[in-house]
Amino acid sequence: MAPCITAHHHHKSLETIELKSTGLRREALALGFNSLTTLELRGCWFSHSLRETVDPFGDIPCLNNLKLIECKSSKRYLLKVSGLQLLHLEIQKKTWDKEEIEVFAPKLESFSYKGWILQLVKLSLPTLDCANIRMGWCGIQPWREQSIAKQEEQRYMKLLRELHNATSLNLRFDKLGGRYPWEKHLFPFTRMKPLMEREGSPFTRLRTLRVQYPQEPPDTPYQVIRYFMEGSPNTEDKFVKFERKVK
């Protein structure tokens, strides 16, 4: 097992770091990385002791590009990803990981996320332009608690409101568990149609929407299209596409 990265491992002039399967202490990232603009972490974990909220990146002043591929904290607490200068952020989580994530990035332009819908609890992205969201989604099954399904639907609606500034939005759904095929369940947008009908579209700039289905696309309720596109200006270059996902 690799040792935790500590202060003596770094240098102030570093601009790019790539680490894999490494333990990271918050103070190691906070001290001295004044020139760091690009950070890629794969399979890393963040060590902490007393605080239940882990925020490893808030003190890196020039960080513009951040990739977190299957990273987590040493305990299953909230992982906060904050960066005042972040422009591009990619997060990939294992769908069975119960750790929750909160993102605060006031200058972020592009956001890519792959994980389970209940992992992503809060986004603050006021300048977001492009979002690519790939969500694991549990189908409604006879033995499954309806409360979990409702949590998924409410959390996804909250996520869409937090992505309201995007001009380009790519959405993809992956089936999580269960022996029943997707055709036996209502597709997420069909399940959320009543919620979408009750509130207006939060999107004021959206021009491009692409949704990848886990099977051949069913008939999409017009309320879903209206929810995404109604709030955007009436421009001729709007593009909406529903398609079967490509492996």
Q: Domain check: are 232 and 162 in the same one?
A: yes
Q: Domain check: are 170 and 145 in the same one?
A: yes
Q: Domain check: are 12 and 123 in the same one?
A: yes
Q: Which residue segment(s) compose the domain that 80 sits in?
A: 1-127
The total domain count for the chain is 2
Q: Domain check: are 22 and 121 in the same one?
A: yes
> Can you read off the two tokens belonging to residue 203?
């999107």
Q: Domain check: are 99 and 141 in the same one?
A: no
Q: Domain check: are 96 and 200 in the same one?
A: no
pLDDT score, position 89: 96
247 residues of the chain, pLDDT tens digit each: 344 444 444 455 555 666 565 555 554 454 456 778 898 988 887 766 545 567 778 778 889 999 999 887 766 677 889 889 999 999 998 877 778 889 999 999 999 999 888 788 899 999 999 999 998 776 655 555 567 777 888 888 999 999 999 999 999 887 766 555 555 556 677 778 888 888 888 998 998 999 887 666 566 777 888 888 888 776 567 787 877 765 6
pLDDT score, position 166: 94
Q: Which of 120, 194, 124 is nearest to 156 (CA)?
A: 120
Strands (E), the chain: 16-20, 23-25, 38-42, 45-47, 53-54, 65-69, 72-73, 78-82, 88-92, 101-104, 110-116, 120-124, 130-137, 168-175, 208-213, 239-244
> Can you read off the two tokens belonging to residue 37?
């603009």
Q: Domain check: are 112 and 219 in the same one?
A: no
- Domain end marker among 63, 94, 127: 127
- Domain end marker among 98, 127, 156: 127
Q: Domain check: are 78 and 158 in the same one?
A: no
- Residue 188: C-alpha distances to residues 22, 76, 164, 194, 195 (Å): 37, 27, 19, 11, 11
pLDDT score, position 110: 97
pLDDT score, position 123: 93
Q: Domain check: are 2 and 22 in the same one?
A: yes
Q: Domain check: are 102 and 146 in the same one?
A: no
Q: Domain check: are 6 and 76 in the same one?
A: yes
Q: Domain check: are 140 and 37 in the same one?
A: no
- Domain end marker among 127, 147, 172: 127
